[in-house]
Amino acid sequence: MDFSQRMGMAPATKVAQVDSIDRDLKNSLWNVVVSLKFAKFRHPKDWDKVAGSNLSWLATQLYSEFYKAPLDTIPYKWTDFKKTVRESFFKMEWHRQYSFVEFIVSSSEKEVEQQLLILAFNKVLDRENSAYRFVSGQLSPITSSEEISEIESAIRNSDCYAGVRTHIQTALSLLTDRESPDYRNSIKESISAVESLAKKVVQDDKATLGQALKILEEKHGLHGSLKSAFMTLYGYTSDAGGIRHAILDNTTPPTKADARFMLICCSAFINFAIDSIED
């Protein structure tokens, strides 16, 4: 805390920023873009020309893919380009500002640069009490470091299981879509990831989750209570809100909390199963 916070003249903490971005967070996000991305601008002949510079590709991608603007409207000078982007950023709605930040990360071709940007953005998001963090390259409303670690581990550990990885990444994308989240299909994708892993465990494309759980129980020491708990959770997806079957008129649609819980639980189970198999 700084002096004013210690003296009780300014709030020491903020309410989590879920559907807004305050001035401090907005400025801090922009400062990361300026210091870690725009500050790298170099041109072999003209210090202020966009075309032919090391970031001309970024300007092109930003205008064509993010702004969806004509490429011949890109400013000639880098100083004008940076000013235009800055003005645009500070006029955006909060969710578009997060989309811009995601774009800056995804536009970095080098993984090292991506990780540096993610670390810097996450530091800012944590400090300003944002409800979002970068998880596997995407901004996610999952704020607990333990939860983030569980999901990222599931994505990382499933490198050898393409289907599992795809389902988990899709579940995360559907959950974290800020403009049109799809909680029902996010839950479906989470449980599909577990089913995909089950087929690998049993080595049978027609295998069921129950068969996989039985193998984990017999050969890898899965506790009976855990087996029962996960079968019960699996049963929930078969009859709750039309998640896996036709939607009924009187069903209650799943919430963000439901989808988040299922993604975390399925990720934890995938990590457990893969660790058990590979031990």
Average pLDDT of the segment spanning 82-98: 97
Q: Which residue has the tokens 């087996």?
A: 227
Q: State the pLDDT confidence band at 248, using cuts at 50, 70 and 90.
A: very low
User: Between the CA of residue 191 and those of 84, 170, 174, 195, 235, what are the distances in Å?
Assistant: 44, 11, 14, 6, 10
Distance CA 229, CA 276 (A): 18
The predicted structure's pLDDT at residue 81 = 97
116 or 238, greater pLDDT: 116
Per-residue pLDDT at 206 exceeds 90: no
Distance CA 193, CA 158 (A): 10
The predicted structure's pLDDT at residue 122 = 94
Q: State the pLDDT confidence band at 57, using cuts at 50, 70 and 90.
A: very high
Q: What is the mean pLDDT of the chain?
A: 85
pTM for the model stands at 0.69
Q: State the pLDDT confidence band at 175, using cuts at 50, 70 and 90.
A: confident
Q: Are 193 and 168 in contact (CB under 8 A)?
A: yes
**Domain locations in the chain as residue ranges:** 11-131, 145-278
When mean pLDDT is compared across 2-16, 72-86, 205-219, 238-252, the lowest value belongs to 238-252
Distance CA 167, CA 190 (A): 6
Q: State the pLDDT confidence band at 89, using cuts at 50, 70 and 90.
A: very high
Helix (H) / strand (E) element for 25: namely: helix 23-36
- In this predicted model, what pLDDT tens digit does every residue of 23-50 receive, in sequence order? 999 999 999 999 999 999 999 988 899 9
Average pLDDT of the segment spanning 192-198: 86
Domain 145-278 fold is: Four Helix Bundle (Hemerythrin (Met), subunit A) (1.20.120)
